[in-house]
Amino acid sequence: MSLRVWLPLNGDLRNQGLDGNVSVTNHGAVVNNSGKTGACYSFGTAKSYFKFDDVSFMHSFTECSITLWLKIISWNTSYATYFQFGLGSTPWSNYIFSLLRNNATSKLCFSVAKGNSSSQTSCSTPEL
């Protein structure tokens, strides 16, 4: 499997993967130069996120993997979404795969869903 979309998130949102025409819009995330490997993005506690401008490329995916560094500063919002790849912002019903806070606990939940209903499978971590 080749990297079709690769966003190093090192202060630049250009796709470094094979699908070079994929564009991402930043909605409120701030470049932070004190990341684990240099520059990174900080999302803070407000609603900030990245959004793919066109998701039509994902219809050809048969496999997918995600790698990320995540530093949680505080557990301040139930079901806070840290990563979501899907068709909208409504939790569960439009998420295809996601990483989020599991309710009001200090657990992470990885969820896989159909993208059009609330039928999903999820896996939770122990308390962090």
- Tokens 């919002």 identify what position? 77
Q: How far is CA 58 from CA 37, 98, 119, in A?
A: 28, 15, 20
Kindly state the helix (H) or strand (E) to which residue 24 belongs, with its residue range: strand 24-27
Query: Residue 24: which of 32, 12, 41, 10 has the closest Cα?
Result: 12
Convert the pLDDT of each residue in 63-80 to its tens digit. Answer: 777 888 888 877 777 777
**Over 70: is that where the pLDDT of 21 sits?**
yes
- Residue labelled with tokens 């999903």: 120
Over residues 81-114, the pLDDT tens digits come to 788 777 766 666 677 778 888 777 888 888 777 7
Q: Check residue 102 and give its pLDDT.
A: 78
